[in-house]
Amino acid sequence: MWFFKKNSPTPPEEEYTLSNLTPLLISLLDTSLNEFYSSCSGFVTLFNNSKKEFIEECKVLEKYNGEPNVEDMWAPNINSIKTQKNSYTKTLIRILEKEYESTFDTQYGKYKAELSIMDDTIGEMLRINSMFKVVVLSYSNELNKFKKIFANMEKSRDKLRLSIDTIQPEYKKYEEIRNKIENLYGMIEEDKLMDSNISSINSELSVLLTKDELSTKEKLKNILNEKNEELSSAKEKIHNMKVKISSSLMQLERAARKMDYSYKGKRSLVSFIENPEENFNDESDYKDFEKLLDDMVSLLNMDKIQIKGKEAIFPSIQKLKTSEFRDQIKQLSELNEQKKFLFDEINNLENEVLSKESKSKIIQEKEKEKQQMFLRKEQLKQLTTSTKSELIELFLKYYNRKIKVIGE
Would you state the pLDDT for residue 75?
A: 63
What local confidence, expressed as pLDDT, does residue 207 receive?
78
State residue 14 phi and psi, 5-degree precision.
Answer: -120, 140
Give me the half-sphere count of Cα atoms (radius 13 Å) on the Cβ side of residue 289: 26
Which regions in the chain score pLDDT beneath 70?
1-9, 73-75, 210-218, 220, 355, 408
What is the maximum alpha-carbon separation in the chain? 151
Residues 320, 407: Cα–Cα separation, whole Å: 95
H or E stretch at 406: strand 403-406
DSSP state of 99: -
pLDDT of residue 153: 97
The CA-based angle 368-370-375, given to 5 degrees, is: 95
CA separation for the pair 321, 272 (Å, rounded):
14
H-state helical runs in 132-252: 133-138, 144-209, 217-249
The confidence score (pLDDT) of residue 4 equals 44
pLDDT per residue as tens digits for the range 319-339: 888 878 888 888 888 888 888
User: What local confidence, expressed as pLDDT, does residue 286 receive?
Assistant: 82
> So what's the pLDDT on residue 1?
35
- Residue 18's alpha-carbon distances to 3, 175, 183, 339, in angstroms, are 35, 16, 11, 73
Q: What is the pLDDT of residues 135-161, one digit of tens each?
A: 999 999 999 999 999 999 999 999 999
CA-nearest of 366, 79, 323 to 207 is: 366
What pLDDT is recorded for position 257? 87
Q: Compute the distance between CA of residue 283 and CA of residue 291 in angstroms, rounded to an integer.
A: 12
Distance of CA 253 to the CA centre of its chain: 73
Write the DSSP string, 33-59. THHHHHHHHHHHHHHHHHHHHHHHHHH
Interatomic CA distance for residues 342 and 224, integer angstroms:
10
- Number of separate helices (H) and strands (E) present in the chain: 13, 2
